[in-house]
Amino acid sequence: MKKRILLATVIAGFFIGSAGAQDCKSNEDLKQKLSIFSEYAKARNYNEAYPVWKEVYTACPTLHFAVFAYGERILQDKVKNSTGGQKTQFIKDLNQLYTDYNKAFPAKLSATEMRIRQALLLFDENAGSEQEIYDLLNKAFTEDRANFKNEKALYLYFSELVSLHGKGQKELQEVFDAYDNVSEKIQDEKNELSTVINQYLAAEEAGTISEKDKKTLEATRKRVDNYETIGESIDAKLGQLADCENLIPLYTKNFEANKNNEEWLRRAAGKMSDKDCTKDPLFVKIVTSLHSVAPSANSAYYLGVMSDKSGNTSKAIQYYNEAVNLETDNFKKSKLLIRIATKHSKGQAVAYAQKALTYNPSNSDAYRIMAHAYASSANECGSTSFEKRAVYWLAAQVARKGGLESLAARYDALAPSKVDVFESGMAGKSLSLKCWIGQSITVPRL
């Protein structure tokens, strides 16, 4: 009898709750207030919007997703323009809004995006600990890596982990694993963006690209530039943690347990190669095991690195070419050629970078290597100061072609100034760049 009464009570409660939810969604007064605060929010009149929004949010948060979309803007404004305890409360309210948003409209705000926004809020407002922020981002990244696309959050995820390691709360191996995962994610995103960019290159070269497509191309290149910057920042953050003094003891300790683990061997070989730890006998053991477990383009490449280090250049080139031939994926083939390019300088580096572009025409790394090679020769290509510094125009031009605007701006700043161009009388004229570059540029009319 008691069970029947309890069941009847639960069922009644369910229908009452459902009826309440249904009643609030059909409430004309709330619908009108939804319209009112929406108009205020659109006009950025957040102070007038707040009390009306708050009433609707409290009474019927599921009335419409606009309750959350505009509510986020309203609370962000409150956080920005308040202080002390009031600010702290608004931060808590915004943090809770993200949780509620995801529960009510998961298709509009996924769990991954919810955690990213919460983590960025806590970081930007200095309202959460490193551990809290890392936990949010780690959960988002590990559970839904494919949809973790926020550049700033990617950097923050790794940065907080490094800080926790510095306090003795995270192992060095965790830092290395996260570095590899984040680096691979950045490369994946750049590959996706390259696919988009490649669709528009022919029209851009021919001058037939539409304004709409031009804007898409510019926006996509901007995102590539952002990922480039994030990648550089992550490398800098890793810093001396990944030097040979740390890598060799750690990998020596873990080698036996991982000598048949392809991913571990591949990553360890990669890190030791990147940090020039290839003279250590451990590198030979790792590469030999990798080539035994899974002969591939990667293992052939590392055998090339070993041959390079031993002074056997012809053998190294043989392995490098084998590595390129073994790779079947064009994006990976292009990336492999970039890795080979980094082992060389100037003319050889440019040659490999140009070859990389044949497999991925928008590989930003190739343009970065070429631009750097040209810029590094500024003092040796030309007989006058003007001619030597003019090389920076070529470097900037190449960087800009790869969508690397921030790098191009740095080179532009090193090129001849407006006064220099005026005094030279070369504005609009062709200038031949001597030495190995063997190209001509048109002096800009500054």
Structural domains of the chain, ranges and CATH numbers in brackets: 243-326 (1.25.40), 347-446 (no CATH)
Q: What are the tokens at 243?
A: 């030097």
Residue 445 clears pLDDT 90, i.e. is over it? no
pLDDT one-digit tens code per residue, 123-164: 999 999 999 999 999 999 999 999 999 999 999 999 999 999
Quick one: pLDDT band at residue 22, thresholds 50, 70, 90?
low
Q: From CA 362, how far away is CA 359, in angstroms rounded?
A: 9
What's the confidence (pLDDT) of residue 10? 40
Please give the C-alpha separations between residue 3 and each of 6, 7, 9, 14, 193, in angstroms, as whole numbers.
Answer: 5, 6, 10, 16, 60
Q: What is the mean pLDDT of the chain?
A: 90
Mean pLDDT of 229-256: 91
Tens digits of residue pLDDT in 270-328 = 899 888 898 899 998 999 999 889 888 888 988 888 888 888 888 888 888 889 999 99
Q: Is the pLDDT of residue 338 over 80?
A: yes
Share of the chain above pLDDT 90, in %: 74
